[in-house]
A and B are shown apart, each in its own frame.
Chain A
Amino acid sequence: MARFKRLLAGIAALAFTGGGALAQTTVKWLHIEANPVVVKIWEEVAREFEAKTPGVKVEMQYLENEAYKAKAPTLLQSRDRPHIIYSWAGGVLKSQVEAGVLEDVTAAMQGYKDNLSGSAVDAFTLDGKIYGVPYGVSQVGFMANKDLLAKAGVDAGKIVRYDDFLDAVKKLKAAGITPLAVGGADKWPVHFYWTHLAVRLGGKAAMQAALKGQDGGFEGETFQKSGELFKQLVDLQPFQNGFLGFKSQQAIGHFGDGKAAMLLAISSFYHTQKVFAVDKTGVPDDKLAWISFPSVPGGKGLPSDTLGGINGWLVTKGAPKEAVAFLKHFVSAEPQKRLAAGNFIVPVYKGAEAGLGSAFMRNIAQNIANSTYHQNFYDQDLGPSVGRVVNDATTEIAAGTMTPKQAAKAIQDAFRQGN
């Protein structure tokens, strides 16, 4: 009998430890961050979360940006999918929601979401349901090297209208300075010109009309005019030699090395231009200016409208509830402040932007906070099938192989085929 009891106790003990092992939950987190300094901060935040919530392990996995985009559909439909994935919101998010591979996190976001920037949460909301936790925002504009501008007698503060900008380009050319660096091989750096012109020309109304196929869609007047204005710039041959062969990172490095006066940049390039410069310091803060994209004659968009990214994290279908809990910890005051202090992101957690370390990034945060209309990157917003055609067609304008009219038509054709 005693022996039987011992056996029972043994079984109970076994069951208990077995149960303990089951309580260990692993949250698989797939990211595309290539900057080791940022990844280190993320890892620290993950370890803090593990310490706070026993029985949960956060496992980080890395995929390169382009590889991630190509792999995502297959990955998300596999049994072994990660629980948390990166997102630029927009059209890709929409197709993922429609495919039913994402978890609706609306309930878990109640209360917490009031701490976040409203427009950032909106970007991850579809039909009133929230599918992700925003993480950071960015703005597109010109980064300028004050020294090089001064050599050509250009004042960054005076570039307000598109004509001022074209004049500046001419002066720089005359002074023998490469006015602009651009990563033409990656195409998306080129599409910023065309799309920001469209934002200035047509504002929010034009984009919404185009999405509904009104006013000629992307073949309409606004978008043809964007191409024409961009063509005016292209005709000045403002880019570095061989720009069509430059990847974005090379072009950013080119600017960081002081070989070009300006770069149409995402605000986060503030960091990357240092990382990719030969001397690893790039253009120092006191020589670095930010020029908001100039306004255009007769434009319906406001100067305070912004183009930029809205990034965040999605929770995939069937992920443990700890995944959302982790994201709520990851995007909370302290970690966001830590990332802001390093100037890595413009945070979305209210108040964290006060922690931004540099005047440069504080200015960006201010612009986004005051934004009257924040347009997401077109190539993300329109989804890959149309967005990539925007990248193609605008790069073709830059290469001189397509007219503005043909480019607009190509985009509208893709939009028709894709919808």
Chain B
Amino acid sequence: MAALAGRRVADVGKLSTILLFLPPALLLFTLFVVLPVGEAAWYSGFNWNGFGAPTNWIGLDNYRFVFDNRAFGTAFKNNLLIIAVSLLIQLPLALSLAIILADRFRGAVALRMVFFLPYILAEIATGLIFSFVYDGDYGLLAALYKSFGAEAPHLLASPQTAFAAILVVVVWKYFGFHMMLFIAALQTIDRSMLEAARIDGASRWQSLRYVVIPALAPTIRLSVFFAIVGSLQLFDLVMPLTRGGPSDSSHTMVSFLYTFGITRMRVGFGSAVGVILFLICVVFAFTYKRWIMRDE
């Protein structure tokens, strides 16, 4: 009897917690996530320039226009490319640097700081700095080429190289963040496990492969998640560097949305891109959480 009453009291406590803490979060979530997404979905059915109320209902035409648009295809491919580079170059780079710098030696902290600095820099500032670096007439790169007596390429002005140049900046800017995540995780690894491995005769590589990496697995999964979501949302580095050009070769889906939706006053079209992007993110996030991060 007493136990039952106790449970009831606990239930009431739980209920009041829910009643107290859920509404603010739910309200904010509804106001800033559910409603805007719903609105975007509604607008995406109209040919609308943003003035007055939308009236010209065109059904799914905007989605057709999006998929017919060559630049959207390029933008989508570019997003996949960023993901690939993030996973295949950026994360391994971050991980190896983390393994080196997690050990305490002279200058390790200073080096960590240096590698982490690009992440602190504002995206727009980074973009501007690199647009100077890449400048074919006056830039750092141009000076480098000229010192060898070669003519400097205008990397950002060629459809073949512009996006590659952006990718370099992406890696440069974000590897430090992932490195820090890995360092934090490395420091939580139980030293005795490493010692045990060493006593058992494991080589440096073997202890890395069978002790360190498995212990880092949750962090790696988290890092991959951040890298992919971040890649899908990349916008503010692209704008100052190329604004998606030349010939729309360096758009991401978000810069495509801004350029083709907002600056052209095609709110319906832009909303359709937004909805597509939202769906991609949601499907990815849920699948990833469910299949890869289910233990956490």
Contact A242 B136 (CB under 8 A): yes
| A388 / chain B contacts, CB cutoff of 8 Å | 263-264
- Which of A70, A184, A187, A244 has most chain B Cβ within 10 Å? A244
> CA–CA, A209 to B233, complex, Å?
43
On whether the beta carbons of B157 and A246 are closer than 8 Å, the reply is yes
Contact among A74, A100, A384, A399 with B159 in the assembled complex (CB-CB below 8 Å) = A399
Within 8 A of B (CB), among A148-185: 184-185
A127: Cβ under 8 A from any B Cβ: no
Whether A235 is near chain B, meaning CB under 8 Å from some CB there, is no
- A179-210 vs B: 1/0 string, CB under 8 Å? 00000110100000000000000000000000
| Contact residue among B49, B246, B262, B266 (Cβ-Cβ distance under 8 Å from A399) | B246
Within 212-242 of B, Cβ neighbours of A (below 8 Å) are at: 242
Bound CA–CA A95/B50 (angstroms) = 10
- Residue-wise, chain B 244-255 has the 8 Å CB interface mask toward A (1 for contact) of 011110000000
> Quick check: B154 and A242 within 8 Å, CB to CB?
yes
Q: Is A64 an interface residue (CB 8 A)?
A: no
B247 touching A95 by the CB < 8 A rule?
no
Which residues of chain B are near A242, meaning CB under 8 Å? 136-137, 153-154, 156-158
Contact assessment for B246 and A70 in the assembled complex, using a CB-CB cutoff below 8 Å = no
* Contact status A184-B263, CB under 8 Å: no
B26 to chain A, nearest CB (A): 27
Contact of B246 among A96, A101, A244, A418 (CB under 8 A): A244
Contact A99 B154 (CB under 8 A): no
State the Cβ distance, B64 to closest chain A Cβ, in Å: 10
Q: Does B143 contact A (CB under 8 A)?
A: no
Chain B: CB-nearest residue to A243 = B157
> For the complex, what is the distance from the CA of A99 to the CA of B245, rounded to whole Å?
32
A236 to B49, CA, bound (A): 39
The answer to the question of A396 belonging to the interface, with a C-beta cut-off of 8 Å to chain B, is yes
Kindly identify, within residues 30 to 62 of chain B, every residue whose CB is under 8 Å from any CB belonging to chain A.
47, 49-52
Contact indicator per residue, chain A 245-274, by CB within 8 Å of chain B (1) or not (0):
110000000000000000000000000000
Q: Please count how many residues in chain B sit with their CB below 8 Å of the partner chain's CB atoms.
A: 27
Set of chain A residues within 8 Å of B50, measured between Cβ atoms? 73-74
B265 CB-CB contact with A under 8 Å: yes
A245 and B157 in contact (CB under 8 A), knowing A70-B263, A95-B49, A101-B51?
Answer: yes
Q: CB of B243 within 8 A of chain A? A: yes
The answer to whether the Cβ of B65 comes within 8 Å of any Cβ in the partner chain is yes
Instruction: Say yes or no: A401-B136 contact (C-beta < 8 A), given A99-B51, A246-B157, A385-B49.
Output: no
CB pair B158–A244 under 8 Å, yes or no, is yes
Complex CA distance for A392 and B251, rounded to whole angstroms? 13
> Cβ of A385: which chain B residues have Cβ within 8 Å of it?
49, 264-266
Q: Taking the nearest CB of chain A, how far is it from the CB of B89, in angstroms?
A: 25
Picked from A99, A243, A417, the residue with its CB within 8 Å of the CB of B65 is A417
Q: Judging by beta carbons under 8 Å apart, are A69 and B157 in contact?
A: no
A399 B247 Cβ-Cβ under 8 A: yes
| Chain B residues, Cβ within 8 Å of A286 | none
11 A–B contact pairs at CB < 8 A?
A69-B263, A70-B262, A77-B52, A99-B52, A185-B245, A187-B245, A244-B159, A244-B245, A245-B157, A385-B264, A399-B246
Cβ-closest 8 pairs across A and B: A242-B154, A245-B157, A99-B51, A73-B50, A244-B246, A242-B157, A244-B157, A99-B52
Q: Which B residues lie at the A interface, using CB under 8 A?
A: 47, 49-52, 65, 136-137, 153-154, 156-159, 162, 242-243, 245-248, 262-267
Given A244-B245, A395-B247, 8 other A-B residues pairs in contact with their CB atoms under 8 A: A95-B49, A99-B49, A241-B137, A242-B136, A242-B137, A242-B156, A244-B154, A245-B242
